[in-house]
Amino acid sequence: MQVIKLLPLPILALTLLQMILSTIAVADVEEDLVTILQEEISQINNELSDIKKDVLEIKKMLTAITNRMTPKIATVSIDNDPFMGNANAPITLVEFSDYECTYCGRFAKSVLPQK
């Protein structure tokens, strides 16, 4: 009878030992998982930082292009100069030509007399 009474004790001890070891193993796995997740979060933050830098560079380039594309309004005096059209027009187109240039001279001789 004593053998039967002692048998549950080792089984109980082994069961308790297994529970303790599994708890320790779970804690180790949780620590490893936390470490892995922290590393992944760090990588994601680094990549996000790189993306933010790229977006800022693109914004700067677009701003530069937009500034170059914005038409410049110039005020030019045309007092006492020959002109065609309405003197009070909201837009004035000023043409500069070099009449000694063969192309400009040909244009002036062929197009301007038609008006």
Blockwise average pLDDT, block size 10, the chain, 115 residues: 57 73 70 88 95 96 85 74 80 76 82 69
Say if CB 76 and CB 94 are below 8 A apart. yes
Return the pLDDT at 56. 97
Return the pLDDT at 114. 66
Return the pLDDT at 1. 47
Give the pTM: 0.40
